[in-house]
Amino acid sequence: LFFDRPTEPCFMQKGDDKTVFQIPDNFYPEKYKKVGNQLADRFGTDAGRMVPVRNIALPDLSLPQQLPYHNQFSLFVPKHRRMAAKLIDIFMGMRDVEDLQSVCSYCQLRINPYMFNYCLSVAMLHRPDTKGLSPPTLAETFPDKFMDPKVFRRARETSTTAPAGDRMPVLIPVNYTASDAEPEQRIAYFREDIGINLHHWHWHLVYPFEAADRAVVDKDRRGELLYYMHQQIIARYNAERLCNNLGFVTRYNDFRGPIAEGYFPKMDSQVASRAWPPRFSGTTIRDLDRPVDQIRSDVSEMETWRDRFIQAIDSGTIVLPNGRTQRLDEETGIDVLANLMESSIISRNRAYYGDLHNMGHVFISYAHDPDHRHLEQFGVMGDPATAMRDPIFYRWHAYVDDIFQRYKATLPAYTRERLDFPGIRVSSIAISGRTPNQFSTQWEQSSVNLARGLDFMPRGAVLARFTHLQHDEFEYTIECDNTTGQAAMGTVRIFLAPTTDQAGNALNFEEQRRLMIELDKFTQGLRPGSNTIRRRSIDSSVTIPYERTFRDESQHPGDAGSAQSADFDFCGCGWPHHMLIPKGTQQGWNCVLFCMITNWNEDRVEQDTVGTCNDAASYCGIRDRRYPDRKPMGFPFDRPAPSTGSLGDFLTPNMTVQNCSIRFTDAVRQRQQR
């Protein structure tokens, strides 16, 4: 309920059952102090439920309260990060849930709503006593971060003119941010997809940069996962670009040159009552001096950090704070490097390697007002919930990925012995469907409930209907022989990649491996003799089902904010299932499906993974567990294979490929209940 209608005070009625938190007198902020009792009476009269709030020793909020209530909050701005870290510590430090509830009532009335939402979400994901609870999806609590503000105007009209049961869904227009004159607009359906942006927000929620409780940040292979998850975003983005007749994304590596791509977000921040600032085409990042954000940094600082990374990679060692050096080893090097690059508090030497990736977001997001003279806040690149909307996000992350790839290129290539699984031969993989080995995609319309995010408005569900990509579900059939004479366990790894570049030239192995999109990974028992493995697309280890990305309100109209939603929102991190397969083309876009089975005895991680939040592990890991695969993330494509010309040359007997196509139908279907 603390997430419901973020700017409405918690002593007002929250949720559909009209819960009122009865707070002690000293909890009222100054502006309500005089009228506290009257307010309590007024909202208490027809409350559905009264929750008495325990009086506790009040926390010191002086640091987190430095962020004005009606400001934007950015996870990438160091000062904001520190304020958030303090608040997370306060939430984590509460003795029990009842104390947490008290401190939330107190904070909800004072703290910037977006920072409050973020910190409470992080705390709920990490406190042992709140693990069964979950923050509602951000698209419901802050819908303004995901859609055209015209939607809210219409939602307002709808909610005041029609009773909850009779409201027509509000349509979110398709392609509303730019015209066809902007080539980048061809892939706006990807960049502005609500599910993709929610995934990215959730990922950064699960992997915060900063908290006093080191365990919240210091998770198994966290840096490596940062590298891998974002590498996969770039690979997927490049596939989408090819499907839309655009060339590969070019990395943003000249910090002194103009950024060709402009971006006009067409969004308003509800909390800040401001439009998100645009970035004009041809903008160049400039030295930052924004006392209000305590940011002072020159572009040259980014260049210095960059040079130190290059030096570290080329020498194979990093410099530690005590002046000693540490070798980057094959197993942990990428993790160490990515933690330095991000950077988070577990960076081994933040003083020297700085904060390159985060500050890239910051420089770009303030390019329109680097010294705050226009009193403007950051652009969409400053917020993980909105960053992926902007074409520059991909150029920036392509650059970051390039540095990681430079490191990967220093590692020994995999020998055939390391790739093979003796005795296991994979003879084929196929896709079921109307036409064999053809994926089918089209548009689909779904809805999301805005009610929780519409402050000071009549109650009841208000649905917004939006259009997104969707694919027909399919099944993989894998034929495999086990000649070891005994039962074996394998890890099945399935990837998809383009076969040609934009000009139609065949891709070589080095180009193709970086474009490999992980589709699934699972453990499989293999009987002696021949095996036919069937696997459904919906079970992918990369994605979370639609119902978890968006709560499917069409199935529960009118019960917005009810407790049921907890089941759906439980593990929000995971690539949205509707974006599993690239769009393809109407003629059919050629791609190659790759399947490999490795020896599970070498891959396995001994741990108990029973419970939830373990079904989108490829990009998100498993909550409170180790990453469930010992191989380097992205294996076997995480590094070059120097003597290999094409993918065909790379194959060992435990691998197979299948040419496929993706056929897109330009039609909209309504979401079917599955």
Tell me which amino acid residue 366 is.
Answer: Y
- Nearer residue to ligand CUO within complex by CB, 113 or 384: 384
- Phi, then psi, of 317 in degrees rounded to 5: -140, 150
Closest distance of CB 264 from ligand CUO, Å: 20
Cβ nearer to ligand CUO, comparing 393 with 509: 393
Identify the three-state secondary structure at position 83: helix
Our CB check for ligand CUO shows the closer of 200 and 471 to be: 200
What number of other Cβ atoms are within 10 A of residue 455's Cβ?
14
Residues whose CB is less than 8 angstroms from the CB of residue 658 and which lie 6 or more positions away in sequence, other chains included: 428, 429, 430, 431, 437, 592, 593, 595
Residue among 145 and 397 whose Cβ is closer to ligand CUO = 397
Q: Where are the beta strands (DSSP E) in 537-654?
A: 543-544, 575-576, 589-599
Q: Are 622 and 609 in contact (CB under 8 A)?
A: yes
The span from the CA of 554 to the CA of 540, in Å, is 24
CB distance 225 to 207 below 8 Å: yes
Minimum distance from CB of 384 to ligand CUO (Å)?
Answer: 6
Q: Which of 174, 155, 195, 670 is nearest to 450 (CA)?
A: 155
Q: Which residue is listed with tokens 């290999």?
A: 644
User: Is beta strand 49-52 parallel, antiparallel or unpaired with respect to 589-599?
Assistant: unpaired
Q: Is 342 a catalytic residue?
A: yes
User: Closer to ligand CUO at the Cβ: 28 or 201?
Assistant: 201
**Three-state DSSP class for residue 512:** helix
Taking the complex as a whole, the smallest distance from the CB of residue 285 to ligand CUO amounts, in Å, to: 15
Name the residues that contact ligand CUO, by CB under 6 A.
Answer: 200, 204, 230, 357, 361, 384, 387, 397
Cβ closest to ligand CUO, residue 344 vs residue 447: 344
E strand or H helix at 365: helix 356-365
Q: How far apart, in Å, are the Cα atoms of 70 and each of 6, 118, 587?
A: 12, 15, 49
> What is the b/e burial string over 119-134, where b = at least 16 CB atoms within 10 angstroms of the residue's CB?
bbbbbbbbbeebbeeb
> 47: which 2 tokens?
């409350």
Tell me how far the alpha carbon of residue 525 is from its chain's centroid: 32
Contact (CB, 8 A) for 496 and 592: yes
**What's the closest the beta carbon of residue 204 comes to ligand CUO, in angstroms?**
6
Show the tokens assigned to 512: 């193709």
Minimum distance, C-beta of residue 515 to ligand CUO, in the bound complex (Å)? 20
- Rounded CA-CA distance 532/228 in Å is 30
Least distance between ligand CUO and beta carbon 380 (Å): 11
Instruction: Using the Cα atoms of residue 563, residue 17, residue 560 and residue 125 in order, give the sign of their dihedral.
Output: negative
Give the other-Cβ count within 10 Å of 625's Cβ: 17
Q: Which is nearer to ligand CUO, 313 or 364 (CB)?
A: 364
For residue 586, CA distances in Å to 159, 440, 441, 665 come to 40, 10, 9, 6
Cβ pair 524, 597 in contact under 8 A? yes
* Annotated catalytic residue within 140, 342, 444, 518: 342
Residue 536 C-beta: closest distance to ligand CUO, Å: 29
Q: Which is nearer to ligand CUO, 398 or 424 (CB)?
A: 398
* Residue 305 in tokens: 């950090």
Q: Cβ of residue 108: shortest distance to ligand CUO, in angstroms? A: 27
Q: How far is the CB of 230 from ligand CUO (least distance, A)?
A: 6
Nearer to ligand CUO, 123 or 387 (CB): 387
Q: Which is nearer to ligand CUO, 384 or 582 (CB)?
A: 384
- Identify whether the C-beta of residue 192 lies closer than 8 Å to the C-beta of residue 177: yes
Which residue has the CB atom at the shortest distance from ligand CUO? 387
- 285 vs 254, 263, 343, 361, CA distance in Å? 10, 14, 20, 11
Alpha-carbon gap, residue 559 to 451, rounded angstroms: 10
Least CB distance from residue 393 to ligand CUO, whole Å?
7
Q: What residues act catalytically?
A: 342
